[in-house]
Amino acid sequence: MKLGRLNHIGVATPSIADSIAFYRDVMGATKIHTPFDLEEQGVKVCFVDTPAHSTGSGLSDSGGTQIELIEPLDADSPINGFLAKNPLGGQHHLCFEVPDIAEARAEFEEQGKRILGPTRIGAHGTPIFFVHPKDMGGMLTEIMETPREDAHWSN
């Protein structure tokens, strides 16, 4: 597999509203997207942009790695267990881009990595799957097909 860009870091939170205030007021985030429900995954999601380049570099500040805030939608949410163990929330998963999701999945399967569920459409509207943390050095890992267009940067 060819490792792609670190698209986002998934951060579980008991309150997206509180986390938005934190990233805005403490961390100085200037681009915070509108939260939305991702019913299939049982979570409310909010993306916070980090710039691709540091301020003053003269380079474009779009296209940086995002923070994906995730809050349980209900009592059945798959992240409730994580929040029970980590009441403050915290780092939940990493998401790397790949050029071809089917090829990446086949390669993980060949290596005996445990893939969690089917390939499905993720929060960016592109196909994703998750790989078990026990096969990934302790890190729940999301693999995401690189968006054909950066549509999500403009919302």
Name the residues annotated as catalytic: 142
Amino acid sitting at position 105: R
How many Å apart are CA 46 and CA 70, to the nearest integer? 7
Which of the ranges 35-43, 81-89, 92-100, 110-118 carries the binding residues for Co ion, by CB under 5 A?
A: 92-100
Alpha helix stretches (DSSP H) within 48-120 = 80-85, 101-110
Decide: is 10 part of the binding site for Co ion (CB under 5 A).
yes
* Residues between 61 and 80 with contacts to Co ion, criterion CB under 5 A: 68
Count of residues in contact with Co ion, rule CB under 5 A = 4
Cα–Cα distance for residue pair 54/48, rounded to 1 Å: 16
Shortest Å distance, C-beta 95 to Co ion: 5
Residue 20 near Co ion by CB under 5 A:
no
Distance between CA 101 and CA 87 in Å, rounded? 33
* Cβ 86 vs Cβ 140: under 8 Å: no
Among 95, 98, 104, 140, binds Co ion (CB under 5 A): 95
Report the alpha-carbon angle 77-79-84, nearest 5: 110
Residue placing its CB nearer to Co ion in the complex, 49 or 68? 68
| Least separation in angstroms between CB 58 and Co ion | 31
Residues near Co ion (CB under 5 A): 10, 68, 95, 142
